[in-house]
Amino acid sequence: MPTWGLRARQTIFSIFVPTGKKVIVIGSGFAGLSAATNLASAGFRVTLLEKNASPGGRARQFAEGGFVFDMGPSWYWMPDVFESYFGRFGKHPSEYYDLVRLDPSYTVVFGPNDFMDIPARMEQLRDLFESLEPGSAARLDAFLAQAAYKYRVGIHEFVYKPSRSVTEFIDPRILVSAVRMDIFQSFHAHVRRFFRNPKILQLVEFPVLFLGAVPQNTPALYSLMNYADMQGGTWYPMGGMHRIVEGMVKLAVEKGVTFEYNQEVTGIDVVGGRASSVRTADRTYEADIVVAGADYQHVESQLLGAGSRSYSDDYWNKRVMAPSSLLFYLGVNKKLQKLRHHNLFFDADFGLHAKEIYQTPRWPTEPLFYVSAPSQTDPGVAPAGCENLFVLIPLAPDLEDTEATREKYYHLVMDRLEKLTGQTIRDAVVYKRSYAHRDFKSDYHAFKGNAYGLANTLMQTAILKPSLKSKKVNNLYYTGQLTVPGPGVPPSLISGQVVAKEIIRELG
Ligand SMILES: Cc1cc2nc3c(=O)[nH]c(=O)nc-3n(C[C@H](O)[C@H](O)[C@H](O)COP(=O)(O)OP(=O)(O)OC[C@H]3O[C@@H](n4cnc5c(N)ncnc54)[C@H](O)[C@@H]3O)c2cc1C
């Protein structure tokens, strides 16, 4: 897998110059971990404060009755980004976890007896396209050639930019690329220039859901996600996605980061336009630099005084948030038929569900949903003969979230799951936990109970995102899925690298 020459320019970071400057990083999600490790590696004295008892933020893990549940992300895409992350410290992901490529990559369920395995091999994928729409294999080649270019330039030129000023993008190479990058065309229109078959359209549009917006509002630039899916592949770290977090924490400790858990930051003290210290319930930590990896809106509205906020409440209320989710972690005491590791249930009208997320926010009439069964690949995440299920229903943020509603949707989705796979499941559930808006708010201070941060719409891309540097507090920086480059595990890793680079450039 190419690393697009990233390593060469990253060596700048690796030079250790003990600055003696104290950095407080708030939050141990991927972005906070990445920022902390990069800064410690460059010679800063870094302390990371995390409100929860364990690291990983939305990617925490818990174990119950022999089942091991990843709480959030389950798709491992863009392995080159992880290689690049560990590579800058002279390491490789294989030193921290065993990665396996899934084949089929995932399955899409269009209806009863209409399950479509998506093969990992390109030749088989082309055959699948051709069987659905004659001539589409050649068009897939053309589509992916463009997507490969976008992936290469997007990952190389765009996502590593701090996006603090439009001048960063005034470079003839980037301006020329911008046309080929399809920034101003919608993903929806772009895809329809290549394909007509409804199943192909759903398949090609699905990765955009990771960006938290509908294809109509997503720039065609993001067909780079199709390259990541179809060429880069779907991978799985044995033991679960939390293995990545464990590897990152190990590396951070090696680089000298001090971790303090159960330390919820309750305020950032600002004196003369500079953050001088960070407070928790029982301590005050002096700081030369503060990096907020907690949800941006929470830091602004709860941890800073009104005069130190970059954005108004009105600004935040007008942002398009990525969806929230209703999740079920289920332990099942039998093996299930017809399920793969990743299963997308597209047997309902996506248009209606999308409308109920973005236009007229409400609990969905007939939701699309996703089921991950990592025990199909990994015997370590469930007792022998059992299945580990993670069920995700995307929802509008800020909905009223009650036990009764969660239970209603549990049965609605399980009815469909049982019918579509032709087996009973509920009678074999021996462990069940639900998770939705209320939990996102209480566990992560998530604005409106969002799951994936801010949607990657055209109007919320690059310099149009909340800035990674405070406009009011000179030594306060932000990282994570509400700032650049956006939601997802790889972007969060990159976000931490980008903010560290800015700090080293400005204050190192
Ligand atoms: C259900 C779900 C499924 C997902 N699926 C995928 C997927 O399959 N693939 C993928 O690539 N991405 C996926 N994502 C997105 C991805 O997980 C996130 O984009 C990423 O983990 C965000 O990392 P972060 O560091 O920005 O934020 P977080 O992980 O939220 O980290 C922020 C941290 O700050 C802490 N914090 C908050 N307030 C305070 C405070 N006051 N004091 C101290 N600490 C504080 C929080 O506890 C948390 O640990 C998924 C997300 C969810 C929720």
Residue nearest to atom 27 of ligand 1 (CA): 29
> Is position 147 within any domain?
yes
Ligand 1 residue neighbourhood (C-beta within 6 Å): 26-32, 49-52, 57-59, 72-75, 264-265, 293-294, 298, 325, 327, 392, 444-445, 451-453, 480-481, 487-489, 492
Q: Are 24 and 290 in contact (CB under 8 A)?
A: yes
Which amino acid is present at 65? G
Whether the per-residue pLDDT at 18 is higher than 80: the answer is no
Q: Are 27 and 292 in contact (CB under 8 A)?
A: yes
Whether the per-residue pLDDT at 268 is higher than 90: the answer is yes
Of 78, 210, 450, 452, best ligand 1 pocket probe by most atoms within 8 Å of the beta carbon: 452
Q: What is the pTM of this model?
A: 0.95
| Atom of ligand 1 at shortest range from CA of 453 | 19
Count of domains for the chain: 1
> Is position 190 within any domain?
yes
> Is position 65 within any domain?
no
φ and ψ of 303, to 5 deg: -105, -15
Instruction: Quote the pLDDT of residue 183.
Output: 73
> Is position 184 within any domain?
yes
pLDDT bin (cut points 50, 70, 90) of residue 3 is very low
Q: How far apart are CA 54 and CA 66, in angstroms?
A: 19
Instruction: Quote the pLDDT of residue 10.
Output: 41
Which amino acid is present at 96? Y
Q: Are 387 and 68 in contact (CB under 8 A)?
A: no
367: which 2 tokens? 């939701």
The mean pLDDT value for 189-210 works out to 94
Instruction: Quote the pLDDT of residue 217.
Output: 86
| Atom of ligand 1 at shortest range from CA of 496 | 25
Q: How far apart are CA 19 and CA 307, in angstroms?
A: 30
Instruction: Quote the pLDDT of residue 155.
Output: 74
Query: Domain of 198?
Result: 121-159+179-226
> Is position 426 within any domain?
no
> Is position 211 within any domain?
yes
Instruction: Quote the pLDDT of residue 168.
Output: 76
Instruction: Quote the pLDDT of residue 179.
Output: 72
Q: How far apart are CA 494 and CA 84, in angstroms?
A: 10
| Atom of ligand 1 at shortest range from CA of 303 | 41
Of 489, 493, 495, 497, best ligand 1 pocket probe by most atoms within 8 Å of the beta carbon: 489
Q: What radius of gyration do the chain's Cα atoms show? A: 22
458: which 2 tokens? 């055209």
> Is position 204 within any domain?
yes
Q: How far apart are CA 403 and CA 417, in angstroms?
A: 21
> Is position 131 within any domain?
yes
